Amino acid sequence: MFIITGVALARIVLEELAAQVFPQRLDSINPTEVSGPGAIQPWLSLVFKYAVLVLMIGDMVGWGWWLWTGALILFIPGIMGMTLTDLPKSKILTQLIPGGLAALLLATLLSTWAGDVVGMVFADSDMLGPLSFLLVPLPVIIVAIIGMFADGGEKWYVQRNLTWVWVIGGIGVFGATVWATDFVSQVFG
């Protein structure tokens, strides 16, 4: 055990020494700045993600027009983000559109409500499953598209250094998310 610890410690010391003595070599094998992806790579990635989504969900929702259309609808924010790079930005939307766990909570609530509405409207239809795949994500996608117009600045409570708002709000959002996702009964039965 002491041998392994000694070898690991010696390796760390030698690596640090090499980094100090030969910084150019270290920068050549582990550059500080890495060039971004080319113009085609993001599109190929999007096509690959689309294909994987279709293959994963096809047997669940059925192999019809709704699968291809619903999967495409899910990628609208990504396509817009890659094609519409100069959207006008709003500071108000930055304050209104949640992020992090609050965004998960909003998405969960919107999807639940949309699922309830779709279930009420199309309850007797044979197309309930496919239409649910098409329509339930729409409110969340609309919020994501609206969020593309946010300027990405800090929230008002961070700007004013109101840590207590952040902490109390975070606890409330956590509790609401646990409730909305039915986490406790799902995990602990």
The pLDDT tens digits of the residues spanning 41-89 come to 999 999 999 999 999 999 998 999 999 999 999 999 999 999 998 889 9
Percentage above 70 pLDDT, the chain: 100
Q: Which two tokens stand for residue 72?
A: 């495409």
Q: Report the alpha-carbon distance of residue 29 to residue 42 in Å, rounded.
A: 25
Write down the domain spans for the chain.
Answer: 85-189
Tell me the pLDDT band of 25, cut-offs 50, 70 and 90: confident
Query: What's the confidence (pLDDT) of residue 132?
Result: 94
What confidence tens digit (pLDDT) does each residue in 98-156 have? 988 999 999 999 999 999 999 999 999 999 999 999 999 999 999 999 999 998 888 88
Look-up of token digits 């840590």: 163
pTM of the predicted model, to two decimals?
Answer: 0.73
69: phi then psi, degrees, rounded to nearest 5: -70, -45
Contact 113, 52 (CB under 8 A): no
